[in-house]
Amino acid sequence: MTAGVASLGWAAGDVLVLTRRHLLQVLREPQALFWTMVQPITNVLLFVYVIGGIVALPDGGSYRDYLMAGVFTQTVVFSAASTAIGLAEDLQRGVVDRFRVLPVARSAVLLGRTVADLVRNTALLAVMMGIALLVGWRAPNGIGGVLAGAALIEFFAYAVGWLGVMIGLSVPNAQTATAAGLTWVFPLMFVSSSYVPLASLPGWLQPVAEWNPLTAVVSGARELFGTQAGVAGLGHPSIPLAHPAVTAVAWAVAVIAVSVPAAGRKYARLSRS
């Protein structure tokens, strides 16, 4: 048992070291972090000041408050592409090969990447929330609701990060990782309740959007923030809309259950090659 505890401590130490390495890379490339923030900030300004005036919620709620949970979720979910790109670049440069010949716990290489991205996403989400407050977003449930909503978004983003790991280990280069990491995000984001109420979608598309995992995450965050709106007009909401936070957690757990073992197998094959 003592040996098992020692091995666990050794692995945890390796995770911390590799997490620190990835975070230092972010600090040494502030331009990349800056441009990562430009798109969501632009989205906020466009949707609030350009499109917000023509989007009406069925229950008459504030579109500004409705919008922000979608922007927050988009910002951190897009980080899955960054995870895939970063891992693909490390593979191309031979960094992962060097880790494989060092006395480093195998799990630490992948965990260090995902934990570092979680820390980066937390900082990015905090900045985005500050900008949202500046343009008039308010969370009626107070700081507790904000923290709970942020935790829900971050948990789902961490799960999606493992999809990024799986993509990064599966593609031949960073350019392919960019395309593969972003292509699936856009349909999920726009066929959801992220930017428009589901009642505004065509009837045949509404059930698809209701069961979209991003709809659950965004609706769950709105519920926790106290800004839940836009569900009116759908008649009897489906299970994901009736219990969005629980559904979002279930989706995140399912993604982790599939992605982590798959990523582990892909990394093990690399180690044997």
Question: What is the number of alpha carbons within 13 Å of residue 178 lying toward its C-beta?
Answer: 4
Residues ≥6 apart with Cβ < 8 Å to 55:
63, 196
> Can you give the pLDDT at residue 10?
58
Residue 101 has pLDDT above 90, yes or no: no
> Can you give the pLDDT at residue 229?
58
User: Could you identify the residue written with the tokens 């570092």?
Assistant: 116
Mean residue pLDDT of the chain comes to 82
> Can you give the pLDDT at residue 157?
92
pTM assigned to the model: 0.88
Token pair for 31: 């331009």
> Can you give the pLDDT at residue 203?
84
Whether 197 and 58 have beta carbons less than 8 Å apart is answered as yes
DSSP string for residues in 71-129: HHHHHHHTHHHHHHHHHHHHHHHTHHHHHHHTT--HHHHHHHHHHHHHHHHHHHHHHHH
Whether 185 and 81 have beta carbons less than 8 Å apart is answered as yes
> Helices 213-225 & 142-170, crossing angle to 10 degrees?
160
Average pLDDT over residues 149-166: 93
Neighbouring CB atoms inside 10 A of 96's CB total 20
> Can you give the pLDDT at residue 245?
92
> Can you give the pLDDT at residue 3?
42
Q: Where are the alpha helices (DSSP H) in 211-243?
A: 213-225, 239-242
Query: End-to-end CA distance of the chain, in Å?
Result: 32
State the amino acid at position 85 in one-letter form: I
Instruction: Please state, in angstroms and as integers, the Cα–Cα distance from residue 182 to each residue in 31, 77, 81, 100, 162, following that order.
Output: 20, 10, 6, 28, 14
Residues ≥6 apart with Cβ < 8 Å to 130:
none
Residue that wins the pLDDT comparison between 175 and 58? 175
User: Could you identify the residue written with the tokens 């349909």?
Assistant: 187
Residue that wins the pLDDT comparison between 58 and 69? 69
> Can you give the pLDDT at residue 176?
84
Residue 272 has pLDDT above 60, yes or no: no
Instruction: Please state, in angstroms and as integers, the Cα–Cα distance from residue 77 to each residue in 46, 64, 185, following that order.
Output: 20, 20, 8
Q: How confident is the model at residue 222 (pLDDT cuts 50, 70, 90)?
A: very high
Q: Is 141 exposed, middle or buried (0-12, 13-18, 19+ CB in 10 A)?
A: middle
Q: Over the stretch 227-241, which tens digit does the pLDDT of each residue have?
A: 865 554 455 667 788
